[in-house]
Amino acid sequence: VDTDRWLSWSDGSRTACDCFGDLVRAYCMKYTISSPRLYVSNKALIWAQDWYRDQNIDTNHPIVALNPGAGNVAKRWPIDRYIELAVWLQKKQYTVFFVFGPKEINLFHANIEVVRQSGAHVIHFPDSQIQRLAGLLRNCWLTISNDCAVMHIAAAIGCPTLAIFGPTNS
């Protein structure tokens, strides 16, 4: 395997999937490059539809998910900017909901009232419920997220994703 070509994902010229595919092909195995996808169970899709119904959210209307959290606090875009974005999106007729993961419990509790006052919906997953989150994001027109698990899950289910990157180690 040409190690320079294999490591080219780190400079952005190829995806990590492309590079790992090179390793598989080096062992004479057939491998066709495709974007990784996360399967969303029917149970998760039904759970998401119930949540949307309970929130009075019309899934036929454009929905945007905002994720202000990240396990690494340094990677978080300031939540006041997310609030401002939520207000702007709602003025443009988008339905907005904030999602908080298990590592954002303090961020969630500190900001739940201001999020609700903005008119946005909010959900907090106190534990890692990837399938339920994927079910919710499957209905979204767009997910805007910091560099974290939510961003990766949104992209893996095929939801258009705008990722906000802060300090990171490539």
User: Which amino acid does the sequence have at 159?
Assistant: C
Phi-psi region of 28 (alpha: psi -120 to 50; beta: other; left: phi over 0): left
Residue partners of 106: CB distance under 8 A and separation at least 6: none
136: nearest Cα among 153, 120, 149: 153
pLDDT tens profile 59-97: 999 999 999 999 888 899 999 999 999 999 999 999 999
- Cα separation of 146 and 162, whole Å? 9
- Cα separation of 78 and 68, whole Å? 7
- Cα separation of 9 and 16, whole Å? 5
* pLDDT at 9 > cutoff 60: no
pLDDT tens profile 87-145: 999 999 999 999 999 889 999 999 999 999 999 999 999 888 899 999 999 999 999 99
DSSP class per residue in 85-115? HHHHHHHTT-EEEEEE-GGGHHHHHHHHHHH
Judge if pTM exceeds 0.85: no
